[in-house]
Amino acid sequence: MAKENGPVLDMTPDGNFIEPPKPSFTQILMRLAAFGLALCITAVVVWTAFIMIPVMLLLGFVGYLFMRGQRGGWRPF
């Protein structure tokens, strides 16, 4: 028969709960720096995407005009 394990309680022998260690000031600063770096990278990626969308649309339109001109000679619209 399988033995079910319940939740693990971190208690001292006298019945008090063990407090998890609090992060040091250096750890807090490192977490803030990592979050700030991730936020900056995300902002650059989004900014690049917003710049590239109009460029790609323009290049697609130019390619369409080029292919249309190659098909049957140049006829303006």
Task: Return the CA Rg of the chain.
Answer: 31
What's the whole-model pTM score? Answer: 0.55
The alpha helices in the chain, defined as continuous H runs, are 25-72
Q: What digits encode the pLDDT tens for the residues 26-40?
A: 999 999 999 999 999
Report the chain (77 residues): mean pLDDT per 10 consecutive residues: 72 85 95 98 96 94 85 61
pLDDT at 73: 58
pLDDT at 67: 84
Buried b (16+ CB within 10 A) or exposed e, 51-74: eeeeeeeeeeeeeeeeeeeeeeee
Q: Report which DSSP code applies to 51.
A: H
